[in-house]
Amino acid sequence: MAKITYIEHNGTEHVVDVPNGLTVMEGARDNNIPGIEADCGGACACSTCHVYVHPDWVEKLPEIDPMEEDMLEFAYNPDPKRSRLTCQLKISDALDGLVVQMPEKQI
């Protein structure tokens, strides 16, 4: 299990425990975290679960695969270094303490 901090665009923080094996997106969905819409349900077919990863975590996450990279082109105001799709980040003990911030909107 990992403790994940989701920060809304307005600065409101939500700290939740997410079981291993789920994704960061599923953790937001299951805990009613606003700001992650996840329209495609985690199929990496949209960009509505886009977040900005805290700078301390950028290098600790798995590399972005080409499909995620393509979908990030459709995200609202993507950051080439910090943007990730939460449906592609699988929870493990290694993600304990991860901090992500939602963009102003999802498109």
100 neighbors 53 (Cβ within 8 angstroms) = yes
Q: Give me the pLDDT at residue 63, please.
A: 94
Q: What is the mean pLDDT of each run of 10 residues along the chain (107 residues)?
A: 98 98 98 96 96 98 96 96 98 98 96
Give the right CATH number for 2-101 from 3.40.50.920, 3.30.479.30, 3.40.50.300, 3.10.20.30. 3.10.20.30
Q: Give me the pLDDT at residue 38, please.
A: 94
Q: Give me the pLDDT at residue 66, please.
A: 97
